[in-house]
Amino acid sequence: MKLLMLGCGYAGSAIARRARSAGLKVLATVRSDERASLLRNEGFDVLVAPQLDASIAQHVDAETHVVIGFPPDGQTDEAIAPALRGAHAIAYISSTGVYGGRTGRIDVQTPIPEPSARAARILHAEAQYRAEGATVLRCPGIYGPSRGLHMRILRGEHRIPGDGSRTLSRIHVEDLASFALATWTVRGEAFVVGDREPAPHIDVVRYVCDTYDVPLPPSIPWEEVHETLRADRAVDSSRAREKLGVALRYPSYREGMSPEATGISTRGRV
């Protein structure tokens, strides 16, 4: 078994590292020489491809697990999806953003409303890969030791959306890697993935501020924050955990944003 990681950014790098630690041969694609150099310094085989096309098929066979980790651009997905059909398994890293203004509990059976332009691009990309047998993983906000809500708070950059009462879901990048590699065992499925404890935005902010001894950020009106912070959704990943056999290493924000997980001192800003 080998991993072909198409788009080796933040999440893709975590997936590639996890695959290598499991003994898989890894080939990662990136768009820039700078990014390629960083990955090669980690010992990865890297293909620099500013624009992926059907020639990627030469790296795909019946022992290949393909994971697609780049955002849709309206053309690349259609160009490469047919080239992946010879793979043993394909996983597409998607987004719970496709659920738009849906509120409350979200799972894969939740109806998708009339999509925004961004959501329509994501759904179109999902369809291209699912036509070739891919499994789709719809993710909420992805975070990790050096990226996420806690880092924005510690840098003094975060603003609380409204009163912070809307529910926030997330997934630690290491747990996403576990889900992605577990798709080796399935074909053509769709899952929503996330941690076990969606929580009001303000609860997460207060945990970070109390843990790292920093002041509570100011609030701003809902309409002034990025659309990804306006959601009020509780992602239910129970089906994904059960079907894929994934035990979360970071079941809530408390484990994932703790000093033990981030390596950050409990006093002061970064």
Q: Tell me: the pLDDT tens digits for 1-60?
A: 899 999 999 999 999 999 999 999 999 999 999 999 999 999 999 999 999 999 999 999
Supply the pLDDT for residue 270: 61
Supply the pLDDT for residue 225: 80
Supply the pLDDT for residue 61: 97
Supply the pLDDT for residue 268: 58
Report residues of the chain scoring pLDDT below 50. Answer: none
- Domains in the chain (CATH in brackets) are 2-146+170-198+234-249 (3.40.50.720)
Alpha helix (H) ranges present in the chain? 10-21, 33-41, 76-80, 117-130, 149-154, 173-182, 201-212, 238-244, 253-256, 259-262
Longest dimension (CA), the chain: 53
Supply the pLDDT for residue 266: 82
Query: In a 3-state reduction of DSSP, which class is residue 166?
Result: coil
Please list, in sequence order, all residues whose beta carbon lies within 8 angstroms of the beta carbon of residue 184, skipping any fewer than 6 positions away. Answer: 1, 65, 88, 89
What is the separation of C-alpha 260 from the centre of its chain, rounded to a whole number of angstroms? 22
DSSP class of residue 65? E
Give this prediction's pTM. Answer: 0.95
At residue 116, φ and ψ (nearest 5 deg) are -70, 175
Supply the pLDDT for residue 202: 97
Supply the pLDDT for residue 269: 62
Supply the pLDDT for residue 223: 82
Among all chains, which residue has been given the structure tokens 């738009």? Answer: 100
At residue 74, φ and ψ (nearest 5 deg) are 90, -5
Question: Which residue pairs, CB below 8 angstroms and at least 24 apart, start in 98-104?
Answer: 98/122, 98/123, 98/126, 98/138, 99/233, 102/233, 103/231, 103/232, 103/233, 104/232, 104/233, 104/234
Quote the CA–CA distance of 247 and 114 in Å, as a whole number. Answer: 34
108 within 8 A of 136, measured Cβ to Cβ: no
